[in-house]
Structure formats: C-alpha cells, structure tokens
Amino acid sequence: MKLLVAYIATSGGEDAVALGACLARTFDAELEICIVIPPEPAGADDAVERLSDALDSAARRWLDEAAARLPDDIETTTTIAEHANPAEGLIIEARRTDSDILVIGGAGGGIRGRHTLGTVVNDILHSSPIPVALAPPGYAHLGADEVREITVTIGDRPGAPLLFETAIRSGIRAHRPIRLVSILAIDDMQPWRNVPEDTAVESARAHAQRALDEARTQLPEDFPVTSTVAQGSTIEEAVESLEWHDGDLVMVGSSRLAAPNTLFLGTTAAKILRAVSVPIIVVPKSTH
C-alpha cells in the first residue's frame, strides 16, 4: 500500500505528515512525501534561474526535515514535483506512483480543531481519482499514533457501495473495529416526503441494521463491527451527538454529482467535515 503526503513547510503540512505516519503505521503502508513547486519558465534570465534554484534547494531541505521527524519503522521517500498548479501536480504524482491514498492538511493551524480548507485542498477534494485523507488542524501535536476505529457514514446513494467496500477492506487490513453510522438530520428531510419523524428514525435504524448484516457477511467471524443511528436537527448536530475518541477516523463518500472514479466533496460530506476534529477520508465515486 502506498500513501502520498502533500507537504509544504507550514502547520498544515506538518499535520499531513503526522496523519500520513499514523495511516502508514496502521495499514503497514509505504509513505512518500511530496512538494510541488512551479517549473522554471522557458527562457528565464539569470535572476529567475537563481530564484528557481533557491526554491528547489529549500524544497529539498524541507522534505529532508519532514522525513527526519518520522520514526524509523515507517518506510519513507521524498519527491519534488514540478507543476504550475499544485493540486494538479499532486494528482499527477499520485497517478505516477500508483498511490492508494493522497494525504493532505487543512488551512490554518494551532491547537487541534475542526477542518478548514484552503484553495489547493478544496481543488483536490473536487477532482482526485483516489481517496483523500484530510488531517484536522493541530494533528501534528495532538493526533494519535495509530487509528483506533473506522467510522463509516452509510447511505444508499450512487457510489455508496465503493465506500462500503473500501471501509471493509481497510478494517480487515488494519485489524481495526468498524462503526457504521446512518445519519438522520430531521431539518434536512425533504418536506415533500411528508414522513413522520418516528417513521424516519425507524427507517434509519433498519438501514443501519441491513448495513451491519451485510458487513458481517464480508468480514471474518467475530470481527468487531457495530452500527448506530446519529440523529439531530442538522447533519452537524447528528454527527456531534456521536462519541469520538483519539485515533478515530471517518470515511465518507463522494457526491452523486461526481464523475465516475473521481472524488467530489458533496454537501453532506462537507457538513460532516465541519462537525468533527478527527481525520476524514473521502472516497471517490465508483464506476457504477
């Protein structure tokens, strides 16, 4: 398994490296730390060439410093990629290296908090062909060394089967418990459905039970898997009602608007992202 970490010498970059190390240790994966810098313009004069050389030298120093902070038990390589668009450069590098997950940090920094997205992160979350793991602010200082449990938001929209399958494979590979969560946001229910609240709750519970039953058919006997319904007036309130611990990880699917085999952060996933302070993995939409 291969993880590509998007790095820049900021607190967000440090958070990405820390999450990359956590995932590498959990999934027994190889880690590649990558910085994307702009290519030297064609026909550049001496001053521009010196500036480009200085940027390349700084990038190599930053990568060496980031790799030096990682423990020896994690297989790590470093790469400088050149591209005018950092998001596109990272996606190209992910394809080139056949990476399984692209790990990125959010904007801002400081103490551990909820996710914030910068321009590059936002672009990646709407175009990546592989799953993207997003580190919350402060993860480099307060994040866990390994994943404790994988929480999966289950739904019946297109693309959900791939999310479910990815979560099952991840749980088996890492030998970590899986928690299946059906989210019920009362205020977000379409008014034209005219469904009583108690009926909606019972439907969500039935859906969670079906997902649990299906998961048990795909998991080894006695594998730790549970299901629950997160209920609230809004999606954020429903997610916040769940119990969260250090080392928890959330997996969400892409929007139904996503192109096949492409990630597109949808409205529900964006609301979940704003409501939690644990790492999130967004899984692309399947071909079906």
Tokens of 269: 């996933």
Domains of the chain, each with CATH number or no CATH: 2-142 (3.40.50.620), 149-283 (3.40.50.620)
What is 166-210 written as a DSSP string? Answer: HHHHHHHHHT--EEEEEEEEGGGS-GGG---HHHHHHHHHHHHHH
Q: Provide the pLDDT for residue 158.
A: 45
Please tell me the distance from the alpha carbon of residue 36 to that of residue 22, in angstroms, as a whole number. 22
pTM of the prediction?
A: 0.88
Measure the CA dihedral 220/132/151/209, to 10°: -70
The set of residues, in sequence order, having a beta carbon less than 8 Å from that of 45 and lying 6+ positions away, is none
Q: Provide the pLDDT for residue 36.
A: 95
Please tell me the distance from the alpha carbon of residue 113 to that of residue 131, in angstroms, as a whole number. 22
Strand segments, DSSP code E, in the chain are 2-6, 30-37, 76-82, 101-105, 132-135, 149-153, 178-185, 225-232, 248-253, 280-283
Please tell me the distance from the alpha carbon of residue 131 to that of residue 283, in angstroms, as a whole number. 5
Place of tokens 């064609």: 42
Please tell me the distance from the alpha carbon of residue 159 to that of residue 264, in angstroms, as a whole number. 11
Length of the chain: 288
Across the chain, which distance is largest between two alpha carbons, in Å? 72
Return per-residue pLDDT of the chain as tens, 288 residues: 999 999 998 889 999 999 999 999 999 999 999 999 988 777 777 777 788 889 899 999 999 999 998 988 899 999 999 999 999 999 999 999 999 999 999 866 545 566 777 788 888 988 888 999 999 999 998 889 999 999 998 865 544 677 888 899 999 999 999 999 988 887 765 544 566 677 777 877 887 888 888 888 888 888 999 988 888 888 889 899 999 999 999 999 876 545 555 565 778 888 888 888 899 999 887 644
Residue 53 has a CB neighbour count (10 Å cut-off) of 11
Please tell me the distance from the alpha carbon of residue 228 to that of residue 179, in angstroms, as a whole number. 8
